[in-house]
Structure 1
Amino acid sequence: MPIYIICKGHNGEFQAPNGEENTIQSACRRIAVGCKLIQCLTAEKLAESGLGRKTFQLENDLNTQAAECTVFHSQLSVERARRLSPEELWEHFGRELMMSPLGSNNRKFVAFLSCTRYIPNGKKPGTYEEILSSMEGHVALGGGGLAIFGTGCLHTWPRGVEEVVPRFLNVTQVDTQYLMDDSCFRGTYGGCFSTTLGSVCHELGHTFDLGHTEGSIMGRGFDNLNLVFTVHTKNDNEKLDKEKNKRVSSPASKASAQHATVSFTKVLNVSYRAPSPIRKPINKFNRTPDSPKRKLSFTDLSIRSSQESIASDTVDESQTTSELSGDLTYWTKSCATILAFHRWFNSEAPQNKSINLTFENATKTLSSSAGVCVVELRDSSGLVVTTWQPQRCSSFQLPPGSIGHQVTTLVAEDSVGNLVKQTLST
């Protein structure tokens, strides 16, 4: 459910350059269009992964009389909101929304905070930390039932479908004396639109139980959404490196502290605190452009009847249909599989309560009569370290030695959307 949050004492107008409409109605139109673009992107990228064209539903899809974006008037004062940390904002609004008439276990929220404000300090920011140090009321966090964002770049988003392509192609330079630049150092309005829309997609992924990955939408591979929605050939994309709205592919420019995953329940609990944000010169994975990419372990995708017939395979995540076609935007195989079988993506699937997915810690074995579809091992930051796709095996035992010292959590899903999240001991 798209939400526009207006704090007590705020007029609801988001920060924008002179001449750009920034009313409450304009904000809601921009948010509605952005959510539909992400809905479309999710379906198309699942289809590219060979898992069918599935996506999440928006409130207006179910009830055409409902608003495409709901305005929520918070009791939190604007002064207080601008002093809170991102985690505190997520926790407060998560609780307030769930305690309101909108609260429901059958609804997830994607919320935008109207009072986000950029206050420059007189010098051009050189790192993302410096940009964030000038922000008030800025947040980009997702998990459980809530993904929440600041509106520092909402003015770059389209108000209607007819504006989508022009907004992506907008090479107007961001004046950092007045406005936030969240473009992954491209410095343009189009870059800000692409990166912030991708950030929303990333955080929504966390609400659907996805972890972090190296590359892909759930890593820092969400900056190039402009290439998905605009028409460029592969040769055109090579030329974009010399243009203002260039694609972002350099490890140095993409290295980032990925957004935090937080758990969202009736009793709210922040399970992972956001690391220090991106510094442009730093490569998080200590990798030069010429060094080999880290590889994750996947299983053969052919149908298997037992665990013994599963042959491990290694797949370079960069060699996906999306990357080879030039848009550089994709779900990893395990992320795509989780989404494809997720209950929020299969509302018409039979809900057989007699089918359970279980994990026996002593033998490190998963069991489900519906068949185990995907297994991930994640580290303490939520990064996927290893993954298998057993193709609906009734049982799957973790291979000996697969739980290294960095692994803390197992996440698995079966073919009817049952999920297991288990803390592991080596």
Structure 2
Amino acid sequence: MLEVTNVRDGEVIPHRLCLLRVVGTEPEATCAAIHNQNDNNRNGALWKIHQRGFNALVPLVEGKNDLRIICGTQEASIQVVYKPLDIPRFIRLVYITCINDDKFQGPKDMECSPNSAVRKIQTGALVLQTFVAETLAAEGLDRRTFRFELDTEGNPIVHVIQLPLTIREAHKFTEERLWETAALHILSSHLADKNCKYVAFFGGTRFSNPDKVPLKNETDIMALTKGHVSLGGGGLALVSTGALYTWALDVDDVMDAMWNTSPVDTSTLMDFSGGRGTWGACYGTHLGSVLHELAHTLDLGHTPHGIMARGFEDLHVFFTTTKLTSDYLPQSPHHSSVMRQSMSSSLIKESVTFTTDFVRKIPLDNINMTVEPPKEPLASSGVYSPPILTRRYPSKTHSSNSESGSPITIEDSLSSSQTQRNTCNRTLLNAPSPNLTNSVLNNNKLQENDGSKCRAFWARSSAVLLAFHKWLNIVTDGDPPELKGSVVCSTAGIRIVELRDLHTMAFHHWEFVTRPPPPVLHLPWAQVPHWPSDTHIEVVAEDSQGNLLKGCFMPRPL
């Protein structure tokens, strides 16, 4: 019997691309069809079956969508209502070119024009919007996501701007300087808007391996890549386009692109696959890294596991498998038990959090950028040993009962960001990255998407912070929560308090999701099982209106 496991009949969805996880297909069935009977512009699409189930990404029309699912002699239907988001704050997408080169790198037979880049970014953005909504709903936090500015056809708008640099000049820049240049250029243009955060793609990334040198590890890959950048924080996430060639042009091609097991030709193309060597893994890893950096602009830091660690590498696994199992799971009590399998860590250049808040100041042509003290890793409630659970997506959503320095001017930011980068690299992963060859061997099953392992999810505290964030809700601005001694106060009610060490790795949190949030919380220090060795800790708090207390350091309680 066909069953949709992640969406309820009649459910209202705030994103245009709907993910359906369907199980219960006939044993001999190889494909299924889904037709949106309310969309006269599209025919039904075919989806291949894997392990008696399949996933489908169905574009929706505004209003009611009556979806008819057909698999052999079986048939099912589900109605989904698409209601576009009406949040005042939004995410603005930008494709950045150089004055003498506007193309991204790809195979010789591929169109790599700005128009092609825009289409790929549009499609990828819709996929990320869906991912956020799906994962928050799975945590019992409702189907919430961020908003993009849309064109008349409902596609995300991608602005194309040109830096006043040649591609050779841009390749001489450090990641931090390229980030700053892009930030200043955006803020001095018509794209400046206090209600948006930016995700920018630098089209000048270039990989070159003319001697066909064997690549043993990620260091070898990066040594042959110029213009690679992966920095996010404040108002801007800037990422490179080294693997944009693997991205789908249209939503109908997303699943095929993620399933693509074609090997990457490392003599001409950058392998951004997390050590797995396939186009599909490149797509998942690259798209996941964009979400990772975007999340930094939404005040999230790194976590011991999940998207804000190295879990972003498995984004393609999340979309191509119907049964997801993870080594790390949320504290929410609504997940079924199943045997857990371990996954070896895979390879990718360690992301750097460049937590820079840039603002306009009067006069408008005097643009300043300030760099706050380092903020990067985050965590879920306590560094706990999670139970053996599966990440199953219930047909109904549930609620969790668990509770768990001076600014620097832009002139000084390069030296500051380099210090922060070194800190990030020491703290993001406890174990060194494995050899590239070993990583590929260890992940052979992953390339087949056997459905047993996936690290693409939010650590619990990341999910709660997102669920009440201003960029995902209609809220009014207010004063942030206050910390007075060991007491956190907010008239809007406290939703989450998170403790981070001086490397901004969160090691404990308390949440108030299902009941009225307290306006005053005396922090119960005795409940914290493990303390970092740092002399000071950071207290991060968010209230019901998304007002955020951050950058507040205090001596570690004895």
Q: TM-score range by the shorter chain?
A: 0.7 to 0.9
Q: Helix, strand or coil: the match of 2:98?
A: strand
Q: Helix, strand or coil: the match of 1:370?
A: coil
Letter in 1 for 2:298: F
Contact 1:378 1:410 in 2 (8 A): yes
Q: Helix, strand or coil: the match of 1:376?
A: strand
Matches of 2:175 and 2:552 in 1, distance apart?
A: 26
Q: Helix, strand or coil: the match of 1:175?
A: coil
Query: Which of 16, 22, 27 does residue 106 from structure 2 map onto?
Result: 16
Deviation of residue 66 (structure 1)? 8.6
Deviation of residue 346 (structure 1)? 0.7
Q: Helix, strand or coil: the match of 1:111?
A: strand
Deviation of residue 231 (structure 1)? 4.2
Which residue number in structure 1 is paired with residue 498 of structure 2? 376
Matches of 1:92 and 1:397 in 2, distance apart?
A: 44
1:224-243 matched pairs, under 5 angstroms = 224-233=314-323
Which residue number in structure 2 is paired with residue 196 of structure 1? 286
Matches of 1:370 and 1:45 in 2, distance apart?
A: 26
Letter in 2 for 1:138: H
Which residue number in structure 1 is paired with residue 523 of structure 2? 398
Which residue number in structure 2 is paired with residue 424 of structure 1? 553
Letter in 1 for 2:264: V
Distance 1:67 1:296, change over 3 A: closer
Query: Which of 142, 145, 157 does residue 232 from structure 2 map onto?
Result: 142
Which residue number in structure 2 is paired with residue 51 of structure 1? 141
Matches of 1:234 and 1:202 in 2, distance apart?
A: 20
Matches of 1:70 and 1:220 in 2, distance apart?
A: 29
Deviation of residue 227 (structure 1)? 2.1
Contact 1:87 1:270 in 2 (8 A): no
Contact 1:297 1:315 in 2 (8 A): no
1:24-423 matched pairs, under 5 angstroms = 24-60=114-150, 68-120=157-209, 122=211, 123-233=213-323, 250-253=343-346, 257-266=350-359, 267-271=368-372, 297=381, 314=384, 316=386, 319=389, 321=391, 326-347=453-474, 349=475, 351=476, 353=478, 356-360=480-484, 363-391=485-513, 392-400=517-525, 404-406=532-534, 408-423=537-552
Matches of 1:320 and 1:231 in 2, distance apart?
A: 13
Contact 1:87 1:273 in 2 (8 A): no
Letter in 1 for 2:391: T
Letter in 1 for 2:353: A
Matches of 1:416 and 1:320 in 2, distance apart?
A: 32
Contact 1:118 1:178 in 2 (8 A): yes
Matches of 1:340 and 1:170 in 2, distance apart?
A: 32
Matches of 2:243 and 2:125 in 1, distance apart?
A: 15
Deviation of residue 254 (structure 1)? 5.7
Q: Which has the larger radius of gyration?
A: 2
Distance 1:144 1:318, change over 3 A: farther
Contact 1:215 1:317 in 2 (8 A): no
Letter in 2 for 1:110: V
Deviates most, 389-398 or 314-323: 314-323
Distance 1:250 1:270, change over 3 A: farther
Deviation of residue 334 (structure 1)? 0.9
Deviation of residue 47 (structure 1)? 0.4
Q: Helix, strand or coil: the match of 1:162?
A: helix
Task: Count residues with an aligned counterpart.
Answer: 374
Consecutive unaligned residues of structure 1, counting only runs of 5 or more, are: 236-247, 276-294, 299-312
Contact 1:220 1:258 in 2 (8 A): no
Distance 1:14 1:397, change over 3 A: same
Deviates most, 104-113 or 380-389: 380-389
Larger fraction in helix: 1
Render the CA deviation track for 1:259-279: whole Å, top value 9, x for unaligned: 32422222324457899xxxx
Matches of 1:128 and 1:114 in 2, distance apart?
A: 21
Matches of 2:161 and 2:392 in 1, distance apart?
A: 37
Letter in 1 for 2:495: C
Q: Helix, strand or coil: the match of 1:108?
A: strand
Matches of 2:493 and 2:142 in 1, distance apart?
A: 19
Distance 1:214 1:66, change over 3 A: closer
Matches of 2:467 and 2:371 in 1, distance apart?
A: 27
Deviation of residue 326 (structure 1)? 4.9
Matches of 1:184 and 1:65 in 2, distance apart?
A: 32
Render the CA deviation track for 1:369-391: whole Å, top value 9, x for unaligned: 22111111222333222211144
Contact 1:390 1:396 in 2 (8 A): no
Matches of 1:405 and 1:165 in 2, distance apart?
A: 45
Contact 1:144 1:206 in 2 (8 A): yes
Deviation of residue 251 (structure 1)? 3.7
Q: Helix, strand or coil: the match of 1:380?
A: coil
Matches of 1:66 and 1:36 in 2, distance apart?
A: 8
Letter in 1 for 2:191: L
Render the CA deviation track for 1:37-74: whole Å, top value 9, x for unaligned: 0011001101001011111110117x769972111122
Matches of 2:354 and 2:294 in 1, distance apart?
A: 10
Contact 1:121 1:134 in 2 (8 A): no
Matches of 1:29 and 1:296 in 2, distance apart?
A: 35
Contact 2:232 2:238 in 1 (8 A): yes
Deviation of residue 211 (structure 1)? 1.1
Render the CA deviation track for 1:130-163: whole Å, top value 9, x for unaligned: 2111111110111111111111100000000111
Render the CA deviation track for 1:247-296: whole Å, top value 9, x for unaligned: x9634436873432422222324457899xxxxxxxxxxxxxxxxxxx95
Distance 1:255 1:66, change over 3 A: closer
Matches of 2:387 and 2:122 in 1, distance apart?
A: 31
Distance 1:141 1:255, change over 3 A: closer
Which residue number in structure 2 is paired with residue 292 of structure 1? none
Deviation of residue 404 (structure 1)? 4.2
Instruction: Give the TM-score normalised by the residue count of structure 2.
Output: 0.62
Matches of 2:552 and 2:221 in 1, distance apart?
A: 36
Instruction: Give the TM-score normalised by the residue count of structure 1.
Output: 0.80
Contact 2:375 2:503 in 1 (8 A): no
Distance 1:171 1:70, change over 3 A: same
Deviation of residue 205 (structure 1)? 0.7
